[in-house]
Amino acid sequence: MIGSAPSAEARQVVRAAAQWLALMESGSANERDRAELQSWRDSHSSHEQAWQKAQLLRQRFADLPPALAMASLDRPQASRRTVLKRAVGAVALVPTAWLISRQLPLDVWSADLRTATGEGKKVQLSDGSTLQLNTASAVDIDMKNRLLKLVEGEIALNVPGSSPLTIQTHFGQVIVSQSEVCVRQGQTGCKVSVLKGAVQLQPLRGPVFSLRGGQQVNLQAIGAGAVEPFDVLAPGWRDGVLMAQNQPLGDFLRELSTYRPGILRWEPELESLRVTGSFRLEDTDRILALLAASLPLEVHSRTRYWVTLLPRKNIV
């Protein structure tokens, strides 16, 4: 059910707990790793709860090999689909896999194309169309039926020819020909933005309608929202750039956090600060350092996966 799905922050906590469990089970953890794990557990009650749940589940299934705990959770593997077909029965019982399945369902694991957190991917389809995946995205490709199924996340699709490709989402279909479009799917809706040309939209409810270049609309279970002009800076991710023009810092950080594994937090008083600039997504730690250099804030890192932004202290 969409209404009961965990928040993005809760899913990040689950992922971090699973990563720690996989590291501890691997036998390669050192004293520093164990100290960082303790620091992570102590930093928030939700972390400790996730860790205890992981431990209890590990005890329940102690007879299963730890290797099935999916140590490289954020690294896509070329043989992922094949491995899943062979091992899905066993993996479903492994505590780490159970934890991750709460945030990465099987259809995401087994998708034809998938990106990890912070990763992007660009491919050319057999008809000459160009498909790009943003961070933490997954798509199934059926060129025989000219159908792309957006499983999770965001894609950009450029179809130069007149033969249409259909993007299937949880909230309707987007029919693309001789046009370029970005489609971003969330838990409660799907944002469709047309960069050039025009597309046909078929919501789950309501009539089919056209959306033209420079326009965007949100598709939801109840139908389509109002057509609006789209933010021309938003598709910068296709070039590996996160752009902002006098944007509230809170909104900027919420977007940035989708490119970072682990947890990124900030104090409420930082929300209304303003950000302008173009930031390379290949190094999100550097983005945080640039924010600290230009805004009255400090970056506090407990571990690589736990970062908090605080207002800068005035030195008298």
The angle formed by the CA atoms of residues 95, 97 and 100, to the nearest 5 degrees, is 110
Mean of the per-residue pLDDT values of the chain:
82
The model's pLDDT over 253-268, given as tens digits with 9 standing for 90+, comes to 999 999 988 789 999 9
Cα separation, 249 vs 17, in Å, equals 28
Which of residues 103 and 172 earns the better pLDDT score?
172
Taking each helix axis from N to C terminus, what angle separates 8-26 and 45-60, rounded to the nearest 10 degrees? 50
Confirm if 302 and 43 have CB atoms less than 8 A apart.
yes
Give the global pTM: 0.70
The verdict on domain 118-229 having CATH code 2.60.120.1440 is yes
Fold observed for domain 240-311: Phage tail protein beta-alpha-beta fold (3.55.50)
pLDDT at residue 217 in the model: 97
Taking 70 as the threshold, does the pLDDT of residue 96 lie above it?
no
- What digits encode the pLDDT tens for the residues 109-158? 678 898 888 899 999 999 999 999 999 899 999 999 999 999 999 999 99
Domain positions in the chain are 2-109, 118-229, 240-311
The pLDDT > 70 percentage for the chain reads 78
Confidence (pLDDT) at 266 = 94
